[in-house]
A and B are shown apart, each in its own frame.
Chain A
Amino acid sequence: MKYLDEFRDRALARPLVAELRKSVTKPLRVMEICGSHTMAIFRNGLRSILPEGYTLISGPGCPVCVTSASHMDAFISMAERPGVRVAIFGDLFRVPGTHGSLANASSRGAKVDIVYSPMDALDLAIRHPEDLIVFLGVGFETTTPGIAATILAAKNRNVKNFTVFSTQKVMPPPLIALLDDPGLKIDGLLCPGHVSSIIGAGAYQPLVDKYHLACVVAGFETTDLLNGLILLARQVGKGEARVENTYQRVVNWEGNLRAARMVDEIFEPADMEWRGLGVIPGSGLAIRPKYADFNAEVRLDITLPEASEAKGCRCGEILKGMSIPTECPLFNTRCTPGNPIGPCMVSSEGTCAAYHKYGMD
C-alpha cells in the first residue's frame, strides 16, 4: 500500500530503533505537541523502547481537550434550543461540561449530528431547512481551511441556515505561553505534522530564535516518529537548536498559502480561552463581521457562561506537560473513558485516554 505499510516496515524501523539508542548522548525532555503524535507513539509501543534519559511530555495539541468548560456549556445549552441542530466531529460528543455532555443532551432530545467534514454539516442544512445548523468549530489550523471553504460554499449556494460556532485555535501562541512558564523545562519540540502542512515548518523558527529549542516536524508513522525522535536527540546532544522537517512529503517551509488566504478571508485573530491554560491573546479565530450571517454566536446572541472545572481534575497541568495522568487522583478511579471527568480522558487523542488505553497504570 502506498504511504502506509512502507512507513511501518519492520526492516526500516528496527535499525532506526538502534540509531535512536545511539543518538541519546545526554538526558533530554521533548514535548510532543500534537494529540495524534501522542496516540501514534503509544500505538507503536515507542514509549516502551525509549532509551534511558529520553523523556516525552504530551502537550496541549488535542483540540477537544483544550476546549474550555464554558465553551462546552455553551455548546450544550445551544443544542437544547428549539430549532437548533448541532453538527460536530465525533470526539466532542462525550466531552463533559459543567453538567453533562452533548451525549446527555442528545438523549434528552437535542438534535446532535456527528459529521466527518464541515461540508457534511452544510448538506445537513440543505436537508433540514427548518433547523438552524450550527457546526461546532473545535480544532487547530488543520481543520480551519475546511471550515472557511464551507462558509464560502454556503455563501455561494445562498444557504441561510448554516452557521459555525468558532472556537478554532492557532498553534504557536499557546506554545509561547507554555514556554514562558519557568516551570516547564524542555529541550525540544516534536512539531505536529498536520498543523505544519498548513502553517509551514517556518512557523517554528521564532521559537528556535527566542527559546533555543530543537524543533523537528514529523509525520505519524513508525519511521516518521523514530526519525523525529532521533533528530531531536542529536540536536540536543550537540547543543544545537534549529527547525528540521522530516515530513517533507506533506510539509514545506512556507505552508499552504492558498489555505491561509482562504482562512484570512473568513477569520480574524481573537483571544481564546483554553482549558487549563486560560485566555491566551490572539490564540483563536473569530468569524469576521463581513460573514456575521454565518456566525452562530451572532445569530443566536450567545454569551459564554461562567464555568468551573471538575474538582481534583488535573487536565490543566497535564495539558501543560507539568503532570502525567498517573499523578492525577481521579485517573482510572473516578475518571475512565467510560465515565470521563476531564477532557483529556474523553478525546481519543487526549493524554489520559492514551495512558488508559495503552495500559500505563
Chain B
Amino acid sequence: MSEKTILLDHGSGGIASQELISTLFLKYLDNPILHSLEDSAIIENQPGRLAFTTDSYVVDPIFFPGGDIGKLAVHGTINDLAMRGARPLCLSLGLILEEGMDMGDLERIIISIGEACKHCGVPIVAGDTKVVPKGKGDKIFINTSGIGIVPDGIDISSKNAKAGDIVILSGTMGDHGITIMTRRAGISVQGKLESDTMPLHTLVQRLLTEIPGGVHTLRDPTRGGVATSLNEIAANSGLSITMEDEALPIRPEVKAACEILGLEPLYLANEGKCLAIVSPDLAERALNIMHSSPEGREAAIIGRLTAGKPGRVVINTPVGGSRVVTPLHGEPLPRIC
C-alpha cells in the first residue's frame, strides 16, 4: 500500500479504491465469489429456508484484549444466524472509514477478518468501502450482513420456549462488556480481562443434531446482557423465568471490575455466549455437549421457565430472597458513590 493513512480518494471508486481492493481485500479475504469483483454475489440455491441478518459495529476502542472490531463483525453476524438454527453461508462486509485512519490499523483489521472467516468457514462474498471526512466518523465502522440456511425441521424461536424448560448459559458473563468498559475508563484489575468474542455456529450445530428437538430457543446476550435477553424471551414466550444468583458463571476478575465501576454483570454485553432454552429431559445432555465443546466449557444451568407472570424475570438471591430483573434502560453508566 503506497499511502500510510486513509484518504478521501480511497472511497472514490477510482484508482485508490482499486488499490485498496487488490492490496488488502483480495489479499486477505479472497475466495472465488469475491474474486470475480462483480456488482453482486450469486449464491447457488440450497435446500432449506434462508436466514438473513445484519449488524453494524462501532466499538471503541477498535483493538481490545481478546479481539478487534473486525473479528467482532464476523462473529457477531455469524452468531445472529446461528441463534435461529441457521448454518451460516456467507457474509457481506461494508466499511465506513474516517479520513486519516492509519493504514496499518486497517490492514490489521482486514487480516483479522480474513482469519475469522477462515476459522468459521464462512466467506465474505460482497463488500463496499466509503470514506468520510476527518471528524465525521471514528476511525472505522463496519457493517456485516449474513445469509444462512435453516435445515428443514429446525424451528428455533423465543416463541417456542415452554414452561418447565431449562435455561443454559454457555459460559461466563460480562467478559466482553467489562473489557471494553475498563479500557475506556483506563482501569486495570488483577487477572486477565478479555473479550469473549467467538463464533457459536459449530456449538449450535452440535446441539441441534445431537439432541434433535431439544433446543427450543437460542439467544446471544450481546448488548443489554443476559438480563435483557431473558426479558425478551420471557416477553415473547409469555412465560416467567426464575434464575439462581449463585448459579451464574462470572469470572472473579469480571466481578471485581464490576464492583469498582458499579456495574452488574447481568447487564454487560457478551460476544461469544448463548442462552439455550432446552426441554428439561434433555438439559443434562445439552450441558454435556456444551462442556465437551471449546465454546461451552464453562456452561451452566442458570434458571428455568415457569408459568408465572408473563414476561417477568426473577432471580433468587443467596439469602433466600428474590428480586425482579428488568431489562436494561439506556447505556450502563457507572455510579458515583
Using a CB–CB cutoff of 8 Å, the interface residues on chain A facing chain B are 1, 4, 8-10, 13-14, 16-17, 35-36, 42-49, 63-64, 89-94, 114, 116, 120, 138-140, 142-143, 194, 222, 226, 336-338, 347-349, 356-360
Q: A1-B255, A45-B316 known; A337 and B336 CB under 8 Å?
A: no
Q: Which of A45, A142, A338 contacts B317 (CB 8 A)?
A: A45
Q: List 8 A-B contacts (CB under 8 A).
A: A14-B320, A17-B319, A45-B316, A46-B319, A89-B335, A114-B333, A142-B337, A337-B330
> Does the CB pair A10–B337 fall under 8 Å?
no
> Does the CB pair A42–B323 fall under 8 Å?
yes
**Chain A residues in 8 Å Cβ range of B326:** 356-359
B259 nearest CB neighbor, chain A only: A4
Q: A42-B323, A49-B321, A359-B312 known; A90 and B330 CB under 8 Å?
A: no
Q: How far is the CA of A338 from the CA of B333 in the complex (A)?
A: 13
Q: How far is the CA of A120 from the CA of B187 in the complex (A)?
A: 11
Q: Which of A4, A42, A93, A338 contacts B329 (CB 8 A)?
A: A338
Q: How far is the CA of A13 from the CA of B320 in the complex (A)?
A: 9
**Chain B residues in 8 Å Cβ range of A120:** 186
- Closest Cβ of chain B to A58, distance in Å, is 15
**Chain B residues in 8 Å Cβ range of A143:** 336-337
- Closest Cβ of chain A to B235, distance in Å, is 14
- Closest Cβ of chain A to B184, distance in Å, is 9
B227 nearest CB neighbor, chain A only: A357
**Chain A residues in 8 Å Cβ range of B252:** 1
Centre residue among A16, A89, A194, A357 by max chain B CB count within 10 A: A357
B336 nearest CB neighbor, chain A only: A89
Q: How far is the CA of A46 from the CA of B316 in the complex (A)?
A: 11
Beta-carbon contacts of B231-263 to A below 8 Å, as 1s and 0s? 000000000000000100000100110010110
Using a CB–CB cutoff of 8 Å, the interface residues on chain B facing chain A are 185-187, 246, 252, 255-256, 259, 261-262, 264, 312, 314-326, 329-330, 333-337
**Chain B residues in 8 Å Cβ range of A349:** 335, 337
Q: How far is the CA of A226 from the CA of B318 in the complex (A)?
A: 12
Q: A45-B323, A138-B336, A359-B323 known; A338 and B318 CB under 8 Å?
A: no
Q: A45-B317, A116-B185 known; A91 and B333 CB under 8 Å?
A: yes
B315 nearest CB neighbor, chain A only: A45
A92 nearest CB neighbor, chain B only: B336
Q: A4-B259, A359-B326 known; A93 and B333 CB under 8 Å?
A: yes
> Does the CB pair A48–B337 fall under 8 Å?
no
Q: How far is the CA of A176 from the CA of B187 in the complex (A)?
A: 38
> Does the CB pair B334–A89 fall under 8 Å?
yes
Centre residue among A16, A46, A194 by max chain B CB count within 10 A: A46
B316 nearest CB neighbor, chain A only: A45
Q: A336-B329, A338-B329 known; A8 and B321 CB under 8 Å?
A: no
Q: How far is the CA of A44 from the CA of B337 in the complex (A)?
A: 19
**Chain A residues in 8 Å Cβ range of B246:** 10
**Chain B residues in 8 Å Cβ range of A42:** 323
Q: How far is the CA of A89 from the CA of B261 in the complex (A)?
A: 11
> Does the CB pair A358–B333 fall under 8 Å?
no
B333 nearest CB neighbor, chain A only: A90
Q: How far is the CA of A146 from the CA of B258 in the complex (A)?
A: 21
> Does the CB pair A14–B255 fall under 8 Å?
no
Q: A1-B256, A4-B256, A348-B262 known; A17 and B333 CB under 8 Å?
A: no
**Chain A residues in 8 Å Cβ range of B261:** 116
> Does the CB pair A43–B318 fall under 8 Å?
no
> Does the CB pair B330–A44 fall under 8 Å?
no
> Does the CB pair A47–B321 fall under 8 Å?
yes
A17 nearest CB neighbor, chain B only: B319
> Does the CB pair A48–B259 fall under 8 Å?
no
> Does the CB pair B320–A49 fall under 8 Å?
yes
- Closest Cβ of chain A to B75, distance in Å, is 28
Q: How far is the CA of A226 from the CA of B317 in the complex (A)?
A: 13
Q: How far is the CA of A36 from the CA of B317 in the complex (A)?
A: 18
- Closest Cβ of chain A to B327, distance in Å, is 10
> Does the CB pair B324–A13 fall under 8 Å?
no
Q: How far is the CA of A353 from the CA of B176 in the complex (A)?
A: 26
**Chain B residues in 8 Å Cβ range of A1:** 252, 255-256
Q: How far is the CA of A222 from the CA of B330 in the complex (A)?
A: 27
> Does the CB pair A44–B324 fall under 8 Å?
no
Q: How far is the CA of A360 from the CA of B261 in the complex (A)?
A: 25
Q: How far is the CA of A17 from the CA of B329 in the complex (A)?
A: 32
Q: How far is the CA of A208 from the CA of B312 in the complex (A)?
A: 43
Centre residue among B252, B315, B322 by max chain A CB count within 10 A: B322
**Chain B residues in 8 Å Cβ range of A45:** 315-317, 319-323
- Closest Cβ of chain A to B258, distance in Å, is 10
Q: Which of B256, B259, B334 contacts A116 (CB 8 A)?
A: B334
- Closest Cβ of chain A to B179, distance in Å, is 16
> Does the CB pair A359–B324 fall under 8 Å?
yes
- Closest Cβ of chain A to B325, distance in Å, is 8
> Does the CB pair A13–B319 fall under 8 Å?
yes
> Does the CB pair A226–B321 fall under 8 Å?
no
> Does the CB pair A139–B321 fall under 8 Å?
no
Q: How far is the CA of A120 from the CA of B336 in the complex (A)?
A: 14
> Does the CB pair A222–B323 fall under 8 Å?
no
